[in-house]
Structure 1
Amino acid sequence: MSKILLIVGARPNFMKMAPLYFELTQTAGFDPIIVHTGQHYDYAMSQAFFEDLQLPESHHYLGAGSGSHAEQTAKVMIEFEKVLAQEHPDLVVVFGDVNSTVACSLTAKKQLVPVAHVEAGLRSFDETMPEEINRRVTDAISDLLLTPSVDGDENLRREGALDGRVRCVGNIMIDSLVTILGRIGADQEAQMLDDLALGTGSYVLVTLHRPSNVDEPDSLRQILVYLNHLSEKLPVVFPMHPRTRKNIERFGIDVPFTKDFRIIEPVRYRQFILLQKNARFVLTDSGGIQEETTYLKLPCLTLRPNTERPITITQGTNELVDMETIEEKSDRILSGRWKEGTVPALWDGRTAERIVRVFQEFGVSDSATRKEPVRSAL
């Protein structure tokens, strides 16, 4: 029985891990173990996702909590080393690009445990983004690089990754999206929209969290003024993070919001998918939402100067915007002049199956035969 540790820490990790966990539990020879680092530690961002995705309680909770990037990464490394000593896994699987991803990759490799990176090869080529550093470091040391699309393969090969390490398996977030869509009944959908007094295709869904958008006074003020203006054309629904609410108060931003600019509390994954599915379009700075909207063939505006998911632009329904172009592009959507887009290859809800086949081909070794890690004298 091959013991595999699945590492989750922040919201996007849960949706990427769940399909793989269930596929491993249904495949002979694998013993999947969930390690929750606690990087996102409030209920709405962690436990609620376990419930919506019907996951069991995590087998290990590291309690990393908040702090600077260095503090958070260090806490995860210290606690995860204890888990490795207890479990003696055959493989560690990390997801995405958060601090937990790079922390557990480094710790596992120093203990001579193989690492697989799900969602490898994504690049924004912007090293001012902490996520870009996490992606590059994790890919450099991982034994298996499991990419969501062919552009990821090309990035890795340019960086010198050997073909044997790189496997294009598809987008595992779409596995969770397909599953959740299949569980949502028409009555649930209608009830949620009724509760918010919204109709299908009648509103804009907004999700913003990046520091450049919500932690800078001028940027946040400009965004809120624009959204207030947009809400005069159709309702704007903004599930707002508590940090952003505090910033509005801290910065003294006083915008007289219209009745159709609806700031609501953060919602669970299932509720968010419902809101997303029925929106006219989405304004976001999230990577995963760019992918979900492309699968749903829903217009998406990404308020960022770059994206590590360019396939959502070249093939999908996404486009980058800034405060100078956002109104023109919003108006194009509202007038019906937006691209239809296509769903990229292997974004079909079966990525977890392909990953498990790769693990079988990889031949995860029995822990009893693994070498002892080198103990540093430094």
Structure 2
Amino acid sequence: MIHFFIGTKAQLIKMAPLMRELSRRRVPFRYVDSGQHAEITRKLRYALGLPEPCISLRDSEADITSMAGAARWYLKHLASTWFARRRLREQIFPGGGVCLIHGDTLSTLLGLQLSRAAGLSTVHVEAGLRSFKWFNPFPEELIRIWCMHRADLLFAPSQEAAQNLTTMNVRGKVVPVCGNTVVDSLRMVLNEEEPRDDLPKMPYVLATCHRLETITHRKRFADAIRAINEVSSKIDVEFVIHRPTKNYLRRFGLADQLNANVTCRDMLDYPQFIGLLRHACGVITDGGSIQEECGYLQMPCLVLRETTERSDGLGTTALLWDRSSNVVEQFTAQLRKGHRPATVSSDQPSPTAEIADKLLAYASSQIQRAGN
């Protein structure tokens, strides 16, 4: 049996094409929801036409939005690796097989630990990304290193990522693929996009800022708001605000510091967000997945971070901010001209199809080995 262990918005977006591909091939699979982003992923499943989870690890329908809450949730379920292994095997991962984890979140780490405790082989999708700074981003870099050293099969979204894994001398099998599955998520949404009449007046820049390492640090968050304001002095900004972002804007007194040219929007579902993104002149974000999407859409992107594990767009369309006003000026100078919607190049191959082929071959080999 193939099990998807998914807990965050980004993981669901990037695994959705693979889930839909397996459904298209009539390959059965189970979907385990860690509950980390319970509210967001519930809405996202509906927007992407995905099935409900076979089992959810949290009864609450609210997202985990604090580091303390995340730590309590993680430690609670980690205890099951010692005290509830029968439940792991019979309820969470019945039938054994392989478990797919994704990326670098606490859900990634928990999925690895639970699936290994249940005796499953673990497959790490989007493996090999590195910032090479142990505590930046934290805890993502540490989670990546731990999971990559313990996974049995690792899908690397680039040759650079594959080389990182080889250099790390990981014990699992490294499989380079032709890109990140987010490109197929983009295609999926753009192909199904319906005409919209609610787009803001053009031109505009789209902004997001939601990483806990940014918004929970007063000075770092204030600097990010200052960068958004600098851009808004040249062009209108549509600022999509997650609930934790809104809370910290109020807590630090930063909401009143946003310029009049910055329009705040509540969080959108993925198809709505991509519809807003593809019509923008550029994007300001601290999100790695959005940096990847901008890379595939050839969209100018100001990355509100000091370092990034993703190379997407760097040196061409993406600029690493590093709290520099000069970088903000460079970003505004390279904003897209005109209003032609961005799209994915037709030359870009499908990493999802490649992963599905190799995943099914691996799962089949595991079944044969278990039978011998």
* TM-score, scaled relative to structure 1: 0.85
The equivalent position to 2:167 in structure 1, one of 147, 158, 176, is 158
Contact 2:306 2:320 in 1 (8 A): yes
Relative to structure 1, the CA distance from residue 90 to residue 49 in structure 2 (aligned partners, 3 Å threshold; closer, same or farther) is same
Partner of 1:15: 13
Partner of 1:376: none
Partner of 1:31: 28
**AA paired with 1:355?**
I
Per the alignment, in what secondary structure is the counterpart of residue 253 of structure 2?
coil
Partner of 1:204: 205
In the TM superposition, what whole-angstrom CA distance separates every residue of 1:322-370 from its partner, at most 9, and x where no partner exists? Answer: 222343223322497xxxxxx899953x222111211233234339948
Partner of 1:340: none
Contact 1:225 1:255 in 2 (8 A): no
**AA paired with 1:20?**
L
Per the alignment, in what secondary structure is the counterpart of residue 301 of structure 1?
strand
1:106 offset after TM fit, Å? 1.7
Bigger mean CA offset, 361-370 vs 90-99: 361-370
Contact 1:205 1:282 in 2 (8 A): yes
Partner of 1:366: 367
Contact 1:224 1:255 in 2 (8 A): no
Per the alignment, in what secondary structure is the counterpart of residue 127 of structure 2?
coil
In the TM superposition, what whole-angstrom CA distance separates every residue of 1:123-169 from its partner, at most 9, and x where no partner exists? Answer: 11122121111111111111110011111100000011368433325
Any stretches of 5+ residues in structure 1 without a counterpart?
Answer: 337-342, 372-378
1:264 offset after TM fit, Å? 1.2
1:309 offset after TM fit, Å? 0.8
- How many aligned residue pairs are there? 351
Which whole-Å CA distance do the structure 2 matches of 1:209 and 1:229 have between them? 19
Per the alignment, in what secondary structure is the counterpart of residue 244 of structure 1?
helix
* 4+ long deviations beyond 6 Å: 343-346
The equivalent position to 2:89 in structure 1, one of 67, 84, 87, is 84
1:12 offset after TM fit, Å? 0.5
Partner of 2:341: none
State, as a whole percentage, how many aligned pairs show the same letter: 29
In the TM superposition, what whole-angstrom CA distance separates every residue of 1:172-200 from its partner, at most 9, and x where no partner exists? Answer: 11111101000113x22xx121xx3x22x
**AA paired with 2:111?**
C
In the TM superposition, what whole-angstrom CA distance separates every residue of 1:303-325 from its partner, at most 9, and x where no partner exists? Answer: 111111124315x5212012223
Contact 1:12 1:288 in 2 (8 A): yes
**AA paired with 1:224?**
I
| 1:1-378 matches, cutoff 5 A | 3-27=1-25, 30-42=27-39, 45-63=40-58, 66=64, 67-78=68-79, 82-86=87-91, 87-128=94-135, 129-161=138-170, 164-185=173-194, 187-188=195-196, 191-193=197-199, 196=200, 198-199=201-202, 202-253=203-254, 255=256, 257-314=258-315, 317-324=317-324, 325-334=326-335, 347-348=348-349, 350-362=350-362, 363-366=364-367, 369=370
Any stretches of 5+ residues in structure 2 without a counterpart?
Answer: 338-343
Higher relative contact order (CA 8 A, sep 6+): 1
- CA-based RMSD of the aligned residues comes to 2.7
Contact 1:72 1:99 in 2 (8 A): no
Which whole-Å CA distance do the structure 1 matches of 2:313 and 2:281 have between them? 18
